[in-house]
Amino acid sequence: MRIPARFAPLLFSALLSAIMVCIVSAFVLTISQGIDARFPAQWLSSCLTTWPVAFPTVAIVAPLVRRIVGRVTA
């Protein structure tokens, strides 16, 4: 199954934000509370809480960042 190319920016934003949320929330949770038996549940809760903020942020900011990078690179 292939997704139409017109959805590429949305898919990019969804995947990038999901990956970043998973990595950053695991890192912050480990630093702040350590890893114990509750870690998986806390991590999942953190991911599900922060992804709805991260996804639209990436979707809105990514085109701006691409334009800035295009202007400052040769």
- pLDDT per position as a tens digit, 10-28: 999 999 999 999 999 999 9
The model carries a pTM of 0.84
Distance separating alpha carbons of residues 21 and 24, to the nearest angstrom: 5
Please give the Cα distance from 28 to 21 (Å, whole number): 10
| Statement: residue 74 has pLDDT above 90 | no
How confident is residue 1, by pLDDT bands cut at 50, 70 and 90?
A: confident
Looking up tokens 């959805």 gives 7
